[in-house]
Amino acid sequence: MFSKYGAGLALLALAGCAAAKADKPRTAAASGPKVPAPWTTDPYPSTYRPYPGVPTLITGVTILDGEGGRIDNGQVLFADGKVVAVGQSVAAPAGATTIDGRGRWVTPGIIDIHSHLGDYPTPSIEAHSDGNEATSPTTPEVWAEHSVWPQDPGFSRALANGGVTTLQILPGSANLMGGRSVVVKNVYARTQQGMKFPGAPYGLKMACGENPKRVYGSKGREPSTRMGNIAVDRMTWAKAAEYKRRWDGYERGDGKGDPPGRDIAMDTLAGVLDGKILVQNHCYRTDEMANVIDMSKEFGYHVSAFHHGVEAYKIADLLKANNICAAVWADWYGFKMEAYDGIPENLAILQKAGACATIHSDDENGIQRLNQEVAKAQAAGRRAGIAIPDEVAWEWLAINPARALGIADRVGSLKPGKMADVVLWNGNPFSVYTRPDMVWIDGALLYDAHDPKRRPVSDFELGQKGEGDVK
Amino acid sequence: MKAFLLAAAALLAIPAAAQTIAFTGGTVAIGDGSAPAPGTVVIRDGRVVAAGPNVAVPAGARQVDATGKWVAAGMVAGWTSEGIVDGEGISETYDARARTSPFNAAVDVLVAVNPDSPVIAVDRAGGVTRALVAPEPGNSIFAGQGAVIDLGADAAAVTRAKAFQFVELGENSAGLAGGSRPAAYALLHDALAQAQDYRRNPAGFDGRTRDALLKRSDAAALLPVLDGRIPLVVHVERRSDILQVLDLRRQYPQVKLVLLGATEGWMVAREIAAARVPVLAAALADLPAAFESVGATESNAGRLEAAGVTVGLATVDISAQGGQRILKQFAGNLVAIAKVPGHTGLDWGHAFAAITSGPAAALGMDGEIGSLRPGRRADVVVWDGDPLELASAPVGVWIDGVEQPLANRQTKLRDRYLTPQEGALPKAYER
């Protein structure tokens, strides 16, 4: 019940995002010093560098590869930060560290497509409320990364208890257009740039429904209704389309004339219209998701994922037809009117319909148990007659969120060549009795349940009671 | 007033089952801390007769074949708004808090309990059979009086009215009391002193004017707390706050304290145990969610239990947006961490007790509810597997010996949309 003290914050924090590929900045044309379209630039680039690892072979282990494959009593080899081989038996280089994985399971690191670690960090005090720029219903100019506090103790819990290796940090959902998201590797750094997933597309967080209309309606401003939500969205998209037309014309003009005026907000929206920034859309109800789909067609963009789609199961066919992922909880429901119809079979019904489904947390506690959330959703499906094998259910934690984030070529499965983000579980990760034993990110061992020195402690917790304790 | 309410509650709560039922062939989880074992459970007239390995099936008993299943005590949710809130973001249904009421300790959740709340039906189907229903502080450190209810599908929800008084003395108390913890303690001591004034001379007690610090009914509500007839549940998290609360016993020796939250309880587990104060613990809180919980760890419950503290789990300090049915998952996690080096978890029997008899014991009600020991109310859940496992679900629920319906809005939505497309008619015609 005391969680209710934070309820307002939590509800506001509900957000959704998808990322589009942020291409390299266009360079000036040979003919002249043309200014690149501003949404194609990368002014706050990642400085993340993988930590060193050693060639590691895990043997005798149950493998879920994250994209539908399963090998019992198999072997996984990774080296130089990359997955090298996965199979019943793989050839390992001499000197590789070998781990006997008998009785244990190995999976790709979990990807949480919806987190507010860093921008709503703990302790959840007023000074840390950095997720909603709730001063205007559309703030595509703000970037979540500029709020991210890299010392959030939550990152360590997500790693050690949850096996989370990649997460998308989103602005909250007070606003219709909340700003850009950022995708990070779950590796502590001194700066947010030091955590940023290299080359991951940005997302634009959008929100339907109760939050924007409540926040702005209570201020006596538009939007105060759902129709107001869509109206403000459309007016803003129309401006963005015009902005992009001006820039496209400038770009076509071979550098002649002055570049159009710069609008930081419109940059983000133009990036969406250009397909470079992925829309991650907080949206609960079927009617609102359908309205957003039509709006996206009206203005020529694509929704990467509907987040918090507690009613997604009702329109699984529509989502599949439009190639939109649903990022959902396992069993959250009823905590607000637009969540009234949530059911535990949501993920299973989406899966049965062939739609892209992913689990998400939106919560600093839930992110520590996403594997358990998937297990519950899988079991609910089984009871409803929808049998989903473990190796397929794990896609909800791995390749599906990777796709919705535009990073599936680098993470989301144990395919050779991908980043060696690997979790060794001390048992079946669909069991409540299982926890991560070891977690590697880009091949570097960053958590080991048996080694207190491989247990990260954020600056905030240093020198305070419980420093270095198991959490 | 109180006598009337209790009498009314007793009338409403008469179990309807004049029947003997034997659950046979299953694994029995009693809920008293013992390990699960194969056995039989016998209930009669709404009460448990016997449970365990060598229990005979009485002649004429209805038999429920639980072969391959688990027969377990129903969960007792340790701190909830069951029946008084249908959705925390739906303010029209929110009866847990009264921010602008002139009353505080006198507030009694009982009159708001709505057994027809869809939340109750969903949690019942999830294996929760009883719940502590608590008010939240609105305008004072005193939140008011909570109740213990059952989650049965009938109009008689109340197991015990005025089951506890709730007071906030942690970080939130500062804001409620005017700006600081010391102000909260000044308010607490003054309120209890005024309650004693009221006892000595009710006619001479002010407490009716708008600016009275304590209303007459608030003072009256605090008397049974002072006398130890109603437990005082205190929300605190920080080590120093916990010690301050334990110290209250010197001044108010009769008061029966219960700690709620107690994230840093593990740091003073011996002191809590020595004081014989039970804890409704934040189940898996492991983050410094506030400055009062910097020492949070999932080992809290295990370390408290190891020190001899009576522990019940509650969904305080942690999100439970899927309802109280999540308690079994929290308990399972406490078993899980027993395998993790450095952690102190719970064994299966004690983890299960923490979501059954533990919360009941915290209020001194474990003789009545929370386990399958003889004489307890027959709240029985038959599970299709280990109740703490993620894949398991109830296949039968009995409350006060009465078999309960498990259908609810969620199962009906599921059935309607298992195939999302419309058929011959709109979905509104499918049910």
The answer to whether B343 contacts chain A (CB < 8 Å) is: yes
- CB nearest B410 (choices: A4, A153, A344): A344
Helix, strand, or coil here: B299? Answer: coil
Q: Residue B18: what pLDDT?
A: 63
Strand order in the sheet with B257-261: B75-80, B128-133, B142-150, B158-168, B232-236, B257-261, B279-282, B311-314
- On whether residue B2 sits in a domain, the answer given is no
| pLDDT band of A17, cuts 50, 70, 90 | very low
CA distance A286 to A297: 17
- On whether residue B265 sits in a domain, the answer given is yes
CB B286 within 8 A of CB B297: yes
Q: Distance of alpha carbon A239 from its chain centroid, rounded? A: 28
**Tens digit of each residue's pLDDT, chain B (431 residues):** 344 444 444 444 444 446 999 999 999 999 999 999 999 999 999 999 999 999 999 999 999 999 999 999 999 999 999 999 999 999 999 999 999 999 999 999 999 999 999 999 999 999 999 999 999 999 999 999 999 999 999 999 999 999 999 999 999 999 999 999 999 999 999 999 999 999 999 999 988 887 788 999 999 999 999 999 999 999 999 999 999 999 999 999 999 999 999 999 999 999 999 999 999 998 899 999 999 999 999 999 999 999 999 999 999 988 889 999 999 999 999 999 999 999 999 999 999 999 999 999 999 999 999 999 999 999 999 999 999 999 999 999 999 999 999 999 999 999 999 999 999 999 999 99
The answer to whether A365 contacts chain B (CB < 8 Å) is: yes
Q: What angle is formed at CA B174 by the lines to CA B169 and CA B178, rounded to 5 degrees?
A: 125
- On whether residue B377 sits in a domain, the answer given is no
- On whether residue B364 sits in a domain, the answer given is yes
Kindly list the distances between the CA atom of residue A356 and the CA atoms of A54, A115, A352, A447, B266, in Å, as whole numbers in the listed order.
35, 19, 10, 30, 44
Q: Half-sphere exposure of A247 toward its Cβ, with a 13 Å CA cutoff?
A: 22
CA distance A62 to B358: 37
CA distance B183 to B174: 7
Helix, strand, or coil here: A420? Answer: coil
Which 3-state string (H, E, C) describes B112-132? HCCCCCHHHHHHHHCCEEEEE
CA distance A408 to A387: 25
A471·B297 Cβ contact <8 A: yes
- On whether residue B297 sits in a domain, the answer given is yes
- Kindly write down the DSSP assignment for every residue of A158-191, as one continuous string: HHHTT-EEEEEE---SSSSEEEEEEEEES---SS
Q: Which of residues 355-374 of B touch A (CB under 8 A)?
A: none
* Residue B298 one-letter amino acid: E
What lies within 8 Å, CB to CB, of A328 at 6+ separation is A307, A308, A309, A310, A312, A346, A347, A350, A357, A358, A359, A360
Look up residue A332 and give its two tokens: 């959250």
CB A420 within 8 A of CB A440: yes
The answer to whether A337 contacts chain B (CB < 8 Å) is: yes
Q: Residue A14: what pLDDT?
A: 38
Domain range for B275: 74-370
CA nearest neighbour of B51 among B347, B332, B376: B376
**CA dihedral angle for residue A6, residue A10, residue A11, residue A14, rounded to 10 degrees:** 180
pLDDT digits (tens, 9 = 90+) for A410-434: 999 999 999 999 999 999 999 999 9
| Helical segments of A78-169, H only | 154-160
- CB nearest B390 (choices: A10, A372, A471): A372
| Pairing, β A56-64 against β A70-79 | antiparallel
Q: Residue B322: what pLDDT?
A: 94
| Ramachandran bin of A179, using left for φ above 0, alpha for ψ from -120 to 50, beta for the remaining angles | left
Tell which wins on pLDDT, A272 or B7. Answer: A272
- A400 pLDDT higher than 70: yes
Q: What angle is formed at CA A361 by the lines to CA A355 and CA A362, rounded to 5 degrees?
A: 110
CA distance B385 to B383: 5
- On whether residue B415 sits in a domain, the answer given is no
pTM: 0.94
CA distance A260 to A124: 42
| pLDDT band of A255, cuts 50, 70, 90 | low
Q: Which of residues 90-129 of B touch A (CB under 8 A)?
A: 90, 96-97, 118-119, 122
The arithmetic mean of pLDDT across residues A2-25, rounded, is: 38
Look up residue B157 and give its two tokens: 């929800």
Mean pLDDT of chain A: 93
Residues of B in contact with A349 (CB under 8 A): 414, 417-418, 420
Q: What are phi and psi of A255, to 5 degrees?
A: 85, 0
* Residue A86 one-letter amino acid: V
| pLDDT band of A257, cuts 50, 70, 90 | confident
B80·A1 Cβ contact <8 A: yes
If you search the block for the tokens 């074992």, which residue do you land on? B37
* Residue B233 one-letter amino acid: V
Q: What are phi and psi of B52, to 5 degrees?
A: 145, -170
- A373 pLDDT higher than 90: yes
CA distance A109 to A186: 10
CA distance A335 to A326: 19
CA nearest neighbour of A423 among A394, A402, A401: A394
* Residue B404 one-letter amino acid: Q
Q: What are phi and psi of A230, to 5 degrees?
A: -65, -40
- On whether residue B66 sits in a domain, the answer given is no
CA nearest neighbour of B10 among B151, B157, B229, B163: B157
CB B191 within 8 A of CB B168: no
B295·A466 Cβ contact <8 A: yes
Q: Residue A32: what pLDDT?
A: 57
What lies within 8 Å, CB to CB, of B91 at 6+ separation is none
The arithmetic mean of pLDDT across residues A58-74, rounded, is: 98
If you search the block for the tokens 């294996």, which residue do you land on? B127
CA distance B278 to B129: 21
Q: What are phi and psi of B185, to 5 degrees?
A: -70, -35
Which 3-state string (H, E, C) describes B373-430? CCCCECCEEEECCCCCCCCCCEEEEEECCEECCCCCHHHHHHHHHCCCCCCCCCHHHC
Q: Residue A385: what pLDDT?
A: 98
Q: Superfamily assignment of A8-36+109-409 in CATH?
A: Metal-dependent hydrolases (3.20.20.140)
A317·B291 Cβ contact <8 A: no
If you search the block for the tokens 């010392």, which residue do you land on? A151
What lies within 8 Å, CB to CB, of B39 at 6+ separation is B26, B27, B28, B51, B52, B53, B54, B55, B71
Helix, strand, or coil here: B327? Answer: helix
Number of compact structural domains in chain B: 1
What lies within 8 Å, CB to CB, of B291 at 6+ separation is A123, A125, B171, B238
Q: Residue B11: what pLDDT?
A: 45
The answer to whether B428 contacts chain A (CB < 8 Å) is: no
Look up residue A98 and give its two tokens: 């070998």
Kindly list the distances between the CA atom of residue B431 and the CA atoms of A162, A340, A348, B117, in Å, as whole numbers in the listed order.
39, 18, 20, 20
CB B300 within 8 A of CB B280: no
Helix, strand, or coil here: B326? Answer: helix
Q: For chain B, how many helices (H) and strands (E)? A: 12, 16
- CB nearest A5 (choices: B172, B329, B418): B172
- Kindly write down the DSSP assignment for every residue of A24-83, as one continuous string: PPPPPPTTS-PPPPGGG--SS-----PPP---EEEEEEEEE-SSS-EEEEEEEEEETTEE
Residues of B in contact with A466 (CB under 8 A): 294-297
B390·A369 Cβ contact <8 A: no
Q: What angle is formed at CA A191 by the lines to CA A136 and CA A189, rounded to 5 degrees?
A: 130
A335, closest residue in chain B (CA to CA): B87
| Pairing, β B232-236 against β B158-168 | parallel
Helix, strand, or coil here: A309? Answer: coil
Domain CATH code at residue B125: 3.20.20.140
CA distance A148 to A130: 8
B294·A330 Cβ contact <8 A: no
Q: Residue A254: what pLDDT?
A: 61
B296·A157 Cβ contact <8 A: no
- CB nearest B337 (choices: A210, A435, A460): A435
The arithmetic mean of pLDDT across residues A457-467, rounded, is: 97
* Residue B78 one-letter amino acid: G
Q: Residue A20: what pLDDT?
A: 39
- On whether residue B336 sits in a domain, the answer given is yes
